[in-house]
Structure formats: structure tokens, C-alpha cells
Structure 1
Amino acid sequence: MDNKSFNLVTDPWLKVIEIQSNQERTVSLTELFENSQNYRQLAGEMHSQDLAILRLLLAILTTVYTRFDTNGELYSWLEKGINELTVDQEMYDDTGQHDLLATWKSLHQAGHFSEIVVQYLEQHQNRFDFFGEQPFYQATTEDYDALVPENKRVAAGKGQVSIKQINRRVSESANTPAIFAPKSGEAKNEIQLDELVRWVIAYQNFTGVTDKTKVVTTEKFSNPAGWLYRLNPVFVKGESLFETLMLNLVLINTRKSDAEYVFQKPVWEYPTVHDYVEMRKKQILPDNLAELYTAWSRLLHIEWRDSGQPAIFSAGIPMFAADSALIEPMTTWRLDKKTNEYRPALKGLQSVGIAMWRNFGQYVKVKQADDIHEPGMVIWLRKLKKEHLIARNAPLILNSIALISDGNATSQSPAVELIDDMQLQADVLFDPEIADYWPTRIEGVIEQTQTVGKDYYHFASDIATIRNVETRPFASALSAKFYDRLNEPFKQWLAGLTGEDDRDEKINLWKDQLKEITTQAVADVMQSPSPRDIKGISGEKGLLNIFTAKNRLMFNLRTHLDPEKG
């Protein structure tokens, strides 16, 4: 592969969907940033892959627009030295945040990114070549050999990870075949170059822990999972790729109004791979988003065979802790009562069937006294609304993409990918009302809805008892179907709320719909009853058949939705 080049700045590798034609296209970084307003979304092999690439794109934009305004002019509080930029912190304190928000507003109004982004990419083009002297997201043979144990160097052939492992649609290790993969046999290890680039970026973010090779350190460490794999990701989805990038482009520290200016340092701006790995050995949480968004979990080196297929060497790098990593804007948080620290509220296999809206209180602070930390993205959106940079009635779509592991501590292989969203108007999400605060009312409705969900579960348990089948699997399956019926109607109800609504009227509309959905779900269960369903069984509380089970549910429904009638 001598003299070969594949430069991400100029060569097509990003899959997108065009708005006008609704067709898929493959574009370069330059094309993407010049035409993001014409693309609906990224369109890679998996949604989680798209999220990893979205963060890479945001790292570029955050780096550029925290240094230059839309005209490509260096901010007045920055000064260009011989080798690096310096900041006048006093000047930044006076006008810095105002200037950065003015840049965001100018870009948003223009409807496209400015020329300075492409100029930045051209300046760093040599670091975006997949086959360059410092290959993109990789180490050279010399760098890799210098950082791993002697017996794990490239010539030894150890520590390889196959294409079918990096491809998270397959995720097949050497020991356990992926039976239901979209490829079979040798095809699992075949890949086109542009797809390989996408998977390398995704793998750094969603790495499992099956590989054993590590970089040499003075202190022992366990190979970490990828950073995104350790979060419950949430971001904002716009009507175009440009809008998605803009809404997620956090240019100021939203958690501290008096925060100092921090230089963005994506991984490609480190002078050498050695410098980056040495920094990572300290396990210090990045203080800037560009570095966080481009954090590696593995030191990768790619050797190219005569067949044109790659041999990929992988070594673990120490990872910083997720505890109190509140700089990360794309996750929900939970308070660890033992350590009193906030940790990402991870999703596991047990929560696969729980829709996003049911955890509404994790995304927006329902009560000021709540001990939750809102996702940084929600705080950023609140800032944009407060500064009148987004409209009061702007539809805001919070999108969640979670790649959930199998829960096995020794592998953490991907088991399922969850995609969900929740749309609310800006005035609903950030309701200025105090006495009738929409988020508090919404949380109350969700609590009532889930109480009805429990009532339905008890109904399903009664049916299982009548039919003499195992209660938990039967009731859980019916409960899951019940929530499937609720998900879309509730999401539509949320999306239809406005700041001017009569709260009680809107809530009663949902209650009526909830009664209808519950009644229909019960009717479906009671279709074609068996003689045993009708005859029933004798229990501690008397006769139990499908009719008494239904009556009990309907009584609970009235009690929990209409207390006066109940």
C-alpha cells in the first residue's frame, strides 16, 4: 500500500441522505460541511456508528468556532503566537461568551457553515489521511511497537482484532460465532475502505473488552470499554444535518457562567501519538469537548495484506473515569448514593422495553429541589432559548441511541441497539410558568400512566393464574405489548403540547386516550375466551375469572385516573 492515500478531507467516505432526492450519497468532509443544509442525516451502517461520527464532526466545528467567528476572523481575546494561540482571559471574561453566542446565531441565521471550517481541514489535511505518515485514528508500526510490550509488537502477529469484530453489526470474536449476522463466512472479514473508516471511528467509541493487549504503563489497568459505550447517549435531532450539528454545537460552558476559556484539542492536534498516549496514561478527564469527542479507547495499527484487506492490531489505552464527568453533554445522569457522585444512567438489557418518555425526569429537571443533573444538551438548549436563539415554539427532538452490551464483564459485546426520541416545544421543555410548570405536570401524567401500566400488569397476572401458566413471563409479555400501544400516542401527545395550553384540558385528553387504549387492550385479551377463562377458579378473594379480573382492572383505572369517580 506504498504511496496510497485516502484523505477524509477530500475523498468520499461519509454516508448521508439528500433532502431533495431522498437518496443516499457518499461525501468527503469538505462536501459535508459545504452542503450539510442539503442533507437530512448521516446514513451509515448503524445509528450508533452515525452518533460516533456526529461527535467527530462536532469536534471539528467546536474547535473551529471557538477560535474563529463566521467571517474566519480570530476572536479579539485570542492572539496567535509563533506556535500556538494564547488567550487574554480578562477580555474573554468581558465579551467571550457573548462573541461565541453571536457566532452561533450568525451561523444559524445563515443556514450553512462558513468557509473557515474547510480552511481548517485543509490546514490539518495531513492528519486526516488514512494512509499518511501519521495515519488517521491509527499508529504507525514504529509508534505501536514502542508503546506495547515487546512480545506484542507487530512482527509477533499478536493482539489482532478482526474486521468482523470491529464491524459492530457482526461483532464476532474468535471464540463465539455471530449466527444472525448480516454477513456469513469469509464475507464477515471483507470490507470496503470507506466503510472501514466509519467502523474504526465507531469502534473507538463502542469497544468491548475482549482484547488483551495493552500499552505499557507503570500501573496496571483493565482494558476499558469505549467512552460512548459507557453513556446513555442523548442528543438533539434537527430537520437537516446542518440543524442537527448546530443544535448540538455547544460553544460555551453551560454549567459555569464564569468558566475560563478552554482550548479545544482534538486527538489529531496532538503532535504525536506518543504525546496523546502519555497524556491518556494519566487518566485525566478532558477539559474540552473536542478531546472528549475524539477520545480513543484503543491504539490501532493497520497492516495491509496483498489481498487489499487489513490486519488490525489493537492495544488498550487507560481511560478516564465517568464519575462526575459532567463535561459530557450527551448523557443522562444518576446520583450514586454511596459515593455521592454523578454517573451516566446506563441502559441495560433489562431496560430494553422502557421508552424514553417513561424516564422523562432524567432529561429535564421536574422540580428545582430534585437532585438530578440534566444532560448538558438540555442545559445548552435552555441557554439558546433564554438568549432567543431558538424560537419559543421550536420543536425540539431529543434523540437517544444506545448500543447495549450483553452484560458479560469479560466481553461486553453489543447485544441490541436502541433508538428512541421525544419531541417537545421549547416553551414546554423550558416552561417559564412556575405555578403550572409543564415538566412537573408531564411527570405527573407519566406517573399516572405507569400506575395504569401496573394495574394492567396485575390484570395480566390474574389471567395467567386463571389459565395456570407461569405468571411472570406471561404478564411481562402482555405488559410489553401494552406499553407498545402507549408509546406512539403518548409521544404524539407530548409533541402537541404548547406553552399556551390549558394544562388540565390537555391532561384530560390524554387520560381519555389512555382509557381507550387500556379498554382495547383488555378486549383483545378477552377475545375467544376458553371455558376455563369463563368458569374461573376459586381464590382467597372469591371467584376469579376473566370478567372479575376485568372488573378489578376497570375499578383501578377509575380510581387512579378519576379519583372522585373511583
Structure 2
Amino acid sequence: MSKQSFNLVIDPWIKVIEKDTNQEKLVSLTEFFQEAQNYRQLAGEMRSQDLAILRFLLAILTTVYSRFDANDEPYEWLDVDKEALQVSQSVDDDEYDQSDLQETWHQLFQAGHFSEIVIRYLNQHQKQFDLFGSQPFYQVTADQYDLLVPTKKKVASGSGTVSIKQMNRLISESNNTPSLFTPKSEDEKNKIALDELTRWLITYQNFTGVTDKTKIETDEKFSTPAGWLYKLNPVAAKGQSVFETLMLNLILFNQDTKDHYIQQKPVWEYDNINDYVTERKKMILPDDVSSLYTAWARLLHIEWDENEQPTIFSAGLPMYSSENAFKVEPMSTWKHDAQGGADDLKPAVKSTRSLGIAMWRNFGQYINVEKTDGNVTGVEPGLVTWLHALKNKGLIEKNRHLNLISAVLVSDGNATSQAPVVEVTDDLTIRADVLFDTEGTQRWPIRIENMIDTTQQIGKDFWQFAATIGQIRNLDARSFASQQSATFYEQLNTPFKLWLASLSNDDDRDAKELAWKHDLRQIVLDSAEAFMQTSTSRDITGIIVTTKEKSREINIFTANNYLRHNVQKHLEG
């Protein structure tokens, strides 16, 4: 094959939007880190792809700046091999000083750009970032693959492959089940440029389903796992530039481990693939984010034809559990495990049943809302705790608007496939001093949560109104009400998010709550009025409903009156 190299360090493959021109551009890792402050955002094929690549980029930055300060010098308490740029011996906890990491973050953020050490690190590891290298990027060689899989699954057998159209999450088509609505024709589904392949390679390791039949050989049996990021309900912070986005998500210090240095170990720093696989067989959750951000779900090997098109061999790797991983994994919301103990937590994964539930409706999953009785609503993501620490230490302005974003690839829920069926993206914007307000019983998080509770009660009132209309029309009342309720919440999303973003600690808080209740009342009554304006003769005439106690007549007027009564009661309560 003519092509000998495609190196992520020097060859363009990351899609970005330039701030000055708003034009899309393809850049290498070197150009990306040198010019991150000049890019508005990542601009890959999907937002979930951007999230996977963001975590990959953060693994590089976390690794580098946990070893070197903003002046590109190793920390005094750390022994670093200046050639390999890796930690050469363990750190004495008595010498470790977390404030140095805080100062590094502060200096970088103030400078507005990354320092030269990132490029030096990438150049040092260039051979691990080449798609065609002796240690090919996010892959293994044919010999390594053959040593780790069963004999009948070796490369020469031609079995155990995954097609490009399955890795491409815009298609996600297996050879058995054609995808009817795809952005590519049948002839083009398995053709791909090297830059796009690189983006999907990173994405696939994060968002793999469980259809693969090939697994590496282990002493103990294991189930083919889904990708690590696929098992989360992700949350990230978005800045006004790619540099800001990376910095807001770059967790260099942690209150839980402030007296203990965490050594970062991204996948490319393993001396050989056998060491990495041996570690993965233990299924022990790592204590560093770089390991999580670069965790492989599959052992992949690529064979190339003369036209530089790939045949990709794939074998499942054992994966650690995401349960109770909240102290290590910062980019997820969490919920209590109903099947576990009182302290057991698992990611609050979005399913096909919760597609229409916006981020603001789960506000308590994103921030610890401490009630007046001292109870806390849940466990906030580590990322939010990190942003809180930045605000408390004065590293970001207290009146800065924080933009929390989510990009979720939702599976079909089928235990034997977990194929992606839809991507859900969302965001909420709120000022830092509002999100982390501590003003006693008046604090904003409590009030916001109360407003959400009130809003969802009005949502229930509207659902009941719609169910009654469905009953009058002799429809499936629950199904009809659910459809109308989804439309109602879609109407609420934008105004509530604007209200949330408008809050400040200088507000008259009672007045702001009344303003939202006024808007909410108007939206729900307008939604009901739309039914009134399009009512049918059956709606007006109504039906007789008989229960054990009595018979009563219901029609669109009685339903509307009952809705108005409930809205008044719940907004005044």
C-alpha cells in the first residue's frame, strides 16, 4: 500500500469552527493545541462524537499538566523522565502540593492558550498516534491480535470484523439489518477518508454496542461490554472557545484526593498492548481520568487494501463496572441503585422512555440541592463539583454564565445489541453564583428546584386535561395525553431555560418566581385554548362516565374548567 503514515500529531483530522470566520476547518493535534483559543467549537459529524474526542483531548492535557506547570517545568515534588516526559517514580504524599496544580490551571486560563509542553509531549509520542505505525493508533498489530483471540478468530480466518457502516454512528448498520434512512448511499457506506475514520475510531471505542461475537481469551468468562461513555449520562461544560471548553473540563485537582497524587495513565503510555490487556482483564476501575477517557471497549486491528480502505477486526475486552464510579468519572449524572444498598450509585442513563425529558427538569441531578431540612437531592457530577471549586477559589468569575451541555447516544435497550437509535443533545445556562448560591433558605438552587416541581405539577395537570380529551374522543387516553404532554414540554423548554439564564443574586427572588409562574400560567392556558379553538361536536357534547359511585358528564368545557382550577391551586400554593 502506498500510504505509509497518517499521524494525528501532524496530519489534519479534527473538525473545528474558526471564531473569526465561522468556517469549518480540519486541523492536526499540533495546530489544534496551538490555536485552540481561535476555534469556537468542535464540529464533527455528531455531538456525541465531539464529546468522545473532547475526552480524548482532555486525556492529553490532564496527563501533561499533572506533570508540568504552566512554564513547562516539572513540579518540584515530582520525578519526571525529561526524555519520555513520564513520571519516573512514585510521589511522596508528604511532598505533594496540590496548590501547584491549582496555580498551573490559573496561569493557563489567564494566559488564554496552552503552553509548548503539550506539543513536546505529542512529538514524543508520535509513533503511538499514527494509524499505520508499528504501534497503530487505537489498534493492535495482526500478530498482537492473533495472540489474544481464539485460534478460529485469527486475522487469517477473516471472521470477527466490523464494517465502517457499523462504526459510523450516523448509520450504525450491521450486515444483517439494513438501515433505511442514512446519509450515505449503499455504495458509499463502507468508504471513508482517513480523517473521518480517525474520528469514528475514537467514537466507536466510547459508544460500542454489544453485537460483537469475538472476544479476547481470558481465564474467566465475561460478557461483551458496551463502550464506557455509552453507559453514562454525559455532562460537560462549554466555553466561548475550544480553549475555554477544554479548560473548564480540565480537572487538575480534586478535594477528595487533595493529599494524594493521582498518576495519569492514558492507553498510549503502556509499553506494550499485552500490559494494557493484562490490566483490563482485572476489571479494576482505574483511579485516573486519563485511563477512563481513553478506555478501549474493543481490541481492533485494521487490514488495508490497495485503495486505503480498511477491513476492521474487532474483539471484546473486559470492562470495569460503572457502578459507584462517581469519584473517578466526572462527566456523568448519577442516581441511587434501587437494587443495591443505600449508598450504591449508578449512572442516570437516558433511555428511549426518557428522550423528551430536558436537562432542566432533572436539575437536582446536576447540582446538590440542599433542602432546608439538610437533606440533599442527589450526587452532583464531579465536573460540577470542579466548577464549584473554580468559583470558590476565584479562578472563574462568580457572575460568569456556565453552559452545561449533554450529548447522549441512546441505545435501543435490547440487551443483545444495544444499537444506537437516537442522539439527544441539550444544554442549560446559569450564572456560577446562582448555581452555587449559599444564601440560607433563600438560596437559588432550592428555589429553582421548587419552581421545577411546580412546573412539573402543572405538566401533570395538563396531562390529565389531555387524557380527558382523549377519553371524550374515544382514543387511547394515556397515549394521547403523553403525546400532547411532550408537545407541552417542548413549548416550556426555551422560556424556562431563558428564565434560568436570567437569574442573578441581585434579583428580587420572589419577583423572579412570580414572573415564571405568570409565563407558565400563560403557556398552559394557551395550550388548552388551542384545544378549545379546534374542538369537535363530540368534544362539546361530551360523554357520560359511569363509576361505582355515580355517573357524570364530561366535555371539553368541564375539562378546561377543571384544568383552570388545578392551575390556580398549584400556582397559588
- Does TM, scored on the shorter chain, surpass 0.5? yes
CA distance in 2, matches of 1:14, 1:459: 50
Per-residue CA deviations over 1:442-467 (Å, capped at 9, x if unaligned) read 11000000000000000001111111
1:517 to 520, 523, 529: 523
1:480 to 474, 478, 486: 486
Structure 2 counterpart SS, 1:22: coil
Tell me if structure 2 keeps the 8 A contact 1:464–1:475. yes
1:455 to 457, 461, 469: 461
- Structure 2 matches for 1:334-483, cutoff 5 A? 334-340=335-341, 341-367=344-370, 368-370=374-376, 372-483=378-489
Tell me if structure 1 keeps the 8 A contact 2:93–2:261. no
CA distance in 2, matches of 1:284, 1:270: 16
Structure 2 counterpart SS, 1:188: coil
Which residue is 1:74 aligned to?
74
Give the C-alpha shift of residue 469 in structure 1: 1.4
Greater Cα shift, 300-309 or 239-248: 300-309
Give the C-alpha shift of residue 371 in structure 1: 6.0
- Structure 2 matches for 1:108-257, cutoff 5 A? 108-257=109-258
CA distance in 1, matches of 2:140, 2:11: 21
Tell me if structure 1 keeps the 8 A contact 2:3–2:308. no
1:508 to 514, 532, 547: 514
Per-residue CA deviations over 1:375-432 (Å, capped at 9, x if unaligned) read 0000000100110001110100111111000011111000110000011100111002
Per-residue CA deviations over 1:454-510 (Å, capped at 9, x if unaligned) read 000000011111111111221111111100000000000000001222211110000
User: Which amino acid in 2 is paired with 1:207?
Assistant: T
CA distance in 1, matches of 2:494, 2:377: 29
Which residue is 2:279 aligned to?
279
Tell me if structure 2 keeps the 8 A contact 1:77–1:87. no
Greater Cα shift, 80-89 or 371-380: 80-89
Per-residue CA deviations over 1:143-189 (Å, capped at 9, x if unaligned) read 11111111100001010000001001101111100011111212111
CA distance in 1, matches of 2:258, 2:284: 23
Give the C-alpha shift of residue 274 in structure 1: 1.1
Give the C-alpha shift of residue 3 in structure 1: 6.3
1:305 aligns with 2:311: no
CA distance in 2, matches of 1:107, 1:307: 44
Per-residue CA deviations over 1:108-164 (Å, capped at 9, x if unaligned) read 011111111111101111111110000000000111111111110000101000000
TM-score for the superposition, normalised by structure 1? 0.97
TM-score for the superposition, normalised by structure 2? 0.96
Give the C-alpha shift of residue 2 in structure 1: 6.0
Give the C-alpha shift of residue 437 in structure 1: 1.5
Per-residue CA deviations over 1:521-562 (Å, capped at 9, x if unaligned) read 111111132211111122346321111111100000000001
CA distance in 1, matches of 2:182, 2:255: 42
Which residue is 1:550 aligned to?
560
2:88 to 67, 85, 90: 85
User: Which amino acid in 1 is paired with 2:485?
Assistant: S
Q: Kindly tell me: are residues 92 and 520 of structure 1, through their superposed partners in 2, closer, same or farther at Cα, counting changes over 3 Å? A: farther
1:560 to 544, 557, 570: 570
Q: Provide structure 1 residue ranges, at least 5 long, that are not aligned to the other structure.
A: none
- Structure 2 matches for 1:26-37, cutoff 5 A? 26-37=26-37
Greater Cα shift, 180-189 or 60-69: 180-189
Which residue is 2:324 aligned to?
324
Q: Kindly tell me: are residues 92 and 397 of structure 1, through their superposed partners in 2, closer, same or farther at Cα, counting changes over 3 Å? A: farther
Q: Provide structure 2 residue ranges, at least 5 long, that are not aligned to the other structure.
A: none
User: Which amino acid in 2 is paired with 1:40?
Assistant: R
Structure 2 counterpart SS, 1:89: coil
CA distance in 2, matches of 1:149, 1:140: 16
User: Which amino acid in 2 is paired with 1:349?
Assistant: T
Per-residue CA deviations over 1:244-294 (Å, capped at 9, x if unaligned) read 000000001243443x10111100000011111111001010111111100
Structure 2 counterpart SS, 1:249: coil
Give the C-alpha shift of residue 373 in structure 1: 1.5
Q: Kindly tell me: are residues 469 and 5 of structure 1, through their superposed partners in 2, closer, same or farther at Cα, counting changes over 3 Å? A: same
The alignment covers a number of residue pairs equal to 560
Structure 1 counterpart SS, 2:89: strand
CA distance in 1, matches of 2:338, 2:465: 35
Which residue is 1:296 aligned to?
296
CA distance in 2, matches of 1:445, 1:59: 38
Give the C-alpha shift of residue 512 in structure 1: 0.2
Greater Cα shift, 505-514 or 518-527: 518-527
Per-residue CA deviations over 1:330-364 (Å, capped at 9, x if unaligned) read 00011114322111011100000111100111111
User: Which amino acid in 1 is paired with 2:507?
Assistant: D
CA distance in 2, matches of 1:479, 1:398: 25
CA distance in 1, matches of 2:319, 2:146: 20
CA distance in 1, matches of 2:287, 2:520: 46
Per-residue CA deviations over 1:54-76 (Å, capped at 9, x if unaligned) read 00000000000000001100001
Structure 2 counterpart SS, 1:511: helix
CA distance in 1, matches of 2:223, 2:456: 40
Which residue is 1:268 aligned to?
268
User: Which amino acid in 2 is paired with 1:322?
Assistant: S
1:333 aligns with 2:334: yes
- Structure 2 matches for 1:483-502, cutoff 5 A? 483-502=489-508
Tell me if structure 2 keeps the 8 A contact 1:92–1:261. no
User: Which amino acid in 1 is paired with 2:192?
Assistant: I
CA distance in 1, matches of 2:160, 2:515: 59
User: Which amino acid in 2 is paired with 1:514?
Assistant: L
User: Which amino acid in 1 is paired with 2:451?
Assistant: V
CA distance in 1, matches of 2:432, 2:95: 29
CA distance in 2, matches of 1:537, 1:85: 80
Structure 2 counterpart SS, 1:251: coil
